[in-house]
Structure 1
């Protein structure tokens, strides 16, 4: 709650706006060797040293507050009047210390985008985006996912081995998204690399951001001249009357929000399936559904570890820390998901509980969450149907991750499997020429709404309907032969 007269903050606190120098001494960095080695261990050190909110350094020795507590993350996310998404509140931005060439600029420079505004303007822009995405109903999106999944599997199935990060998870989301955008598939690989680079705060982040912006600007110009059934055209047609800049920036938001997190969600789920005996046993045995299993992954290994940023609109207090007007706050999504206050025993499965922080919360909750779930759910389902005896090809200890400012990315996932016996040449991406046929998919239903999280406490289980004995998971109970 706002403090009437906040005391002067201690030395080294992010409330001192002096930038790099004496004020940064003793602060732990969210980048560099310690963060790269084990970010989760770093979060726990910060929690032990400072409690639910800790002072940290970002690239360029930018000072910020990292929110580690589950309840505190919800408080910040749900109170835009105190913690705004408008980066123009940031003292570092106002004082000119974050220029266009700063590595954090692509993530923090104000743009005509729903994630950088609050109130009425946020509702106008956010409604245009959600309405345009909703024009593509779940069943149609899943058809795209199934088609592209079969095409990807066709490319490696005869080898009996595949890296499911590079050859599958990395490729699938962008193929679906470029289809929804009405773009040629050739744009996919370069956009993937640029989107990854941009969110990592690297020295080339600005260049990557410029490439994405220029590519999408050309797309908007083409769609305004030749509209079609795609997200860009729907944004242009929306009653909110978005400008070309607003259309372009919301396409960029969708690209970033739906691609890299979905890649990580697919990779993390497949890794857990191949390495966690209990996880795959409950899934293969029909004790849980794949959508419920995805929610467990979103708790334990959220696709994004942090989200930058929120900015204090005035002097306030959070978990005992004095926050000054213009301070930046970083939401610690991964740290909040393992907060002992809500998960005292991390080994207890959560069975479809959706009160995790993986997609953020409040009015700025990730707009691509349902699209990401649909891509991951359907893609993994189709993959396991085609290749039910997937096995990890290397020891689990040899799997590596790239740890970046906002995410932990599995580098590779080498697997082996029995190549399906071919009975004829397939001319399309659809199934039909291998002896092992994919399991039939049920009719796609609208994704259930997330439960209310007003209390900030992990609620009771949110159940998804169990599929009957003729469903894909009942069939997989008899067919899935993943090595135990």
Structure 2
């Protein structure tokens, strides 16, 4: 993302970079520069892709809640319709139209969103915790004997992928391919091929769940009274998985960084995990810039002219840190930040996402109590990109411990059954396979996890 200096605007240094490592390292400096022009500023998201980024809190909230003057439908994107956006642009997969509740308005949006929200509302918070805990134990066991790990790539990245396989009812074969293709899309590795594989996996999953429904989000969506078609189901699943995996990884990673940064001025003594998550959502939200809107007519946004049919993107990171909020933030509620969005398109998975991150952070800190950063904080690298606020890696060190957490979960005393009820059968414990054994058996993370837990 690159800031475009308005002609004749004083105080804005020319060529302020908004893409690459400079922006990744200090996005708030870029947002401060933009505010000289007003609550929004013109930017270049990628070569040839112009947009207006809203960095003012009140302006951002106003746009998010205004369905009269703004649309979420990218089919209104004038430059794309006129062929001025390269079809291989790296930002197009995140911005192009899909028939899901993220990119639709009005009655279509309400129909699709009802299916999604009703299905997510069936998730039990206690079940989510019970699903996260064995996945966390499984991942920790894979590196606990080494005494060193990259908590981004060894833990925070993989945990949401495995959890979503669980919540969406993926069998081993589909789950391995789904995990691999989703990782490739977020990592930018052969995204076109990965997207094709992701689509194929989801269509297979939908066909399977139509034949054999289960107690999972995919089956609930299929059985929802609005009657989603297979194509609609596929696009809601893409949205749910895409909107869940990357933000969840970054929320877990950014919270762990805060809690491990003993010398950071941002860190309060004895900060609770809940406080760390809230701090991240205010100051370094995992998705920093997104929620693209398209003005239905030319608009004046606090003195900034925005042409109809041009992308107007919300900077959650910039708006949350608007200097005008510095005194007001003391009186605002914790949830007043915009990290979850606002208005009719606000994130419907706020509660599950929070519980997943809380449980994941709690699990790793309890398992490895002497966890510490393995490099100076200032040497950590942030992944470049216009949308996310994401670490590239989070190297840590700790006292090596035997990988016994998975077995402990199986051998823990079971809950006392109700009177007259039969005791639940014991689940056989399979030893955790080493990475070398996994490669030789050609099994992915999800297959290995299922081998252990027989779920």
TM-score by length of 2: 0.80
Is residue 2:170 matched to residue 1:187? Answer: no
- Please state if 1:339 is matched with 2:325: no
Q: Alpha-carbon deviation of 1:432?
A: 5.8
1:79 aligned to 2:66?
A: yes
Q: For residues 214 and 28 of structure 1, do their structure 2 counterparts lie closer, same or farther at Cα, with a shift above 3 Å needed? A: farther
Aligned equivalents of 2:233, 2:251: Cα separation in 1: 27
> For residues 329-385 of structure 1, what are the alpha-carbon distances to aligned partners after superposition, in whole Å with 9 as ceiling and x for unaligned?
01111111110011259xx98997111111221111123332221111011112222
Structure 1 residues 421 and 255, CA gap change in structure 2 (3 angstroms): closer
Q: Does 1:430 align with 2:430?
A: no
| Alpha carbons of structure 1 residues 429 and 312: separation in structure 2 relative to 1, 3 Å | farther
| 1:205–1:280 Cα change, 3 Å | same
SS at match of 1:263: helix
Measured at CA, do residues 34 and 157 of structure 1 come closer, stay the same or move farther in structure 2, by a change above 3 Å?
A: closer
CA distance in structure 2 between the partners assigned to 1:419 and 1:333 by the alignment? 39
Shift of 1:166: 1.6
Which structure shows the higher helix fraction? 2
Deviations 1:79-100 (A, max 9, x none): 0221110112221133233464
Q: Which piece of structure 1 moves more, 359-368 or 30-39?
A: 30-39
Q: Hey, what does 1:473 align to over in structure 2?
A: none
CA 1:211 to 1:80, structure 2 compared with 1: closer, same or farther past 3 Å?
farther
Residue in 1 that maps onto 2:281: 298
Q: 1:45 aligns with which of 12, 33, 36?
A: 33
Alignment of 1:51-450 (within 5 A): 51-98=38-85, 100-183=87-170, 184=172, 185-187=175-177, 189-197=179-187, 204-276=190-262, 282-283=269-270, 289-343=272-326, 353-420=334-401, 428=407, 430=409
CA distance in structure 2 between the aligned counterparts of 1:394 and 1:144, rounded to whole angstroms: 32
Tell me the TM-score normalised to structure 1 length: 0.76
SS at match of 1:155: helix
Q: CA RMSD in A?
A: 2.9
Q: What secondary structure does 1:116 align onto?
A: coil
Q: Is the Cα contact below 8 Å between 2:65 and 2:343 reproduced in 1?
A: yes
> How far is 1:312 from its partner?
0.5
Q: Deviations for 1:227-260, whole angstroms, at most 9, x for unmatched residues?
A: 2222111111100111111110111111111111
The structural deviation recorded for 1:271 is: 0.6
SS in 1 for 2:325: coil
Q: How does 1:2-21 map to 2 (within 5 A)?
A: none
* Count of aligned pairs: 400
Q: What does the per-residue CA deviation read over 1:131-166, in whole Å, with 9 as the maximum and x for residues that have no partner?
A: 112222111011000111111112222222222112
Change in Cα spacing, 1:427 to 1:392, as seen in structure 2 (3 Å) is: closer
**Structure 2 portions without partners, runs of 5+:** 8-13, 413-455
